[in-house]
Amino acid sequence: MDNIVLFIIACVLLIILPGPDTAIVTKNTIVNGQKGGFQTMVGSCVGLSIHTIAAVAGLSAIIVQSAAAFTILKYVGAIYLCYLGVKTLISMRVKKTEIDDVPTIETKGNSYFKQGFITNITNPKVAVFFLTFLPQFLAPGNDPFWPFLTMGIIYIVLTFVWFALYVFLLNKIRDFMKKPATQSVIEMLTGAVLIGFGLKLAFEKQ
């Protein structure tokens, strides 16, 4: 594998760039605290793991080369993002109380993992990223399997570390973020961003 330092720097810059995963993690951390944020983050990283395995196995290449497969996956992801955005806008709360912290809300925690997972796994741009970005750092003439797998793992680890830090810091200012006025603005912006990402993904060309 060539230019490992350059690869790590490029990964960090790409990871911190806001996207659907960041929007989902932000929303769920504010709503359910650190636990909700971490569950969403784990779901997203599991999705990345599947993309890595698919890329190594060559399945991502089929998705990228097949117009039908790309289109189906694209619209599933777009519809899901729009659904989450609309759901967020509809559920905007005028006032938040301390009851948000009780265990009854945490019974729905499993859905946070699903949201992170589905948002990531249904995004064909992740598959395109793995197939177009990672090969640039492969040494020519070598078997790509292990270097490709190693780079995928590095990307997943860096993503996990970044989101863990992001969730931790966001949870620290959660009291401010949960103020009625602040949360209304955050939920409105998050809903609009998710719908925007969904529409952008829907019109993404192969």
Res. 71: pLDDT tops 50: yes
C-alpha angle with apex 206: 2 to 64, nearest 5 degrees? 55
Q: Is the pTM value of this prediction over 0.75?
A: no
DSSP type of residue 66: -
pLDDT digits (tens, 9 = 90+) for 154-204: 999 999 999 999 999 988 887 776 666 766 776 777 778 778 877 876 776
- Asked if the structure places residue 192 within a domain, the reply is yes
pLDDT digits (tens, 9 = 90+) for 94-110: 444 433 443 333 445 45
- Asked if the structure places residue 32 within a domain, the reply is yes
Domain extent for 40: 21-92+110-202
- Asked if the structure places residue 124 within a domain, the reply is yes
Outline where the chain has alpha helix (H): 4-16, 20-57, 59-65, 67-90, 103-106, 110-121, 124-133, 145-172, 174-177, 180-202
For the segment 37-47, the average pLDDT, to the nearest whole number, is: 94
- Asked if the structure places residue 98 within a domain, the reply is no
Long-range contacts of 92-95 (CB under 8 A, 24+ apart): 92/184, 92/187, 92/188, 92/191, 93/180, 93/183, 93/184, 93/187, 94/180, 94/184, 95/180
Q: Which residues contact 179 (CB under 8 A, 6 or more apart)?
A: 96
The listed range with the strongest mean pLDDT (67-71, 130-134, 163-167, 202-206) is 163-167
- Asked if the structure places residue 16 within a domain, the reply is no
Res. 36: pLDDT tops 60: yes
Total tally of structural domains belonging to the chain: 1
pLDDT given at position 60: 65
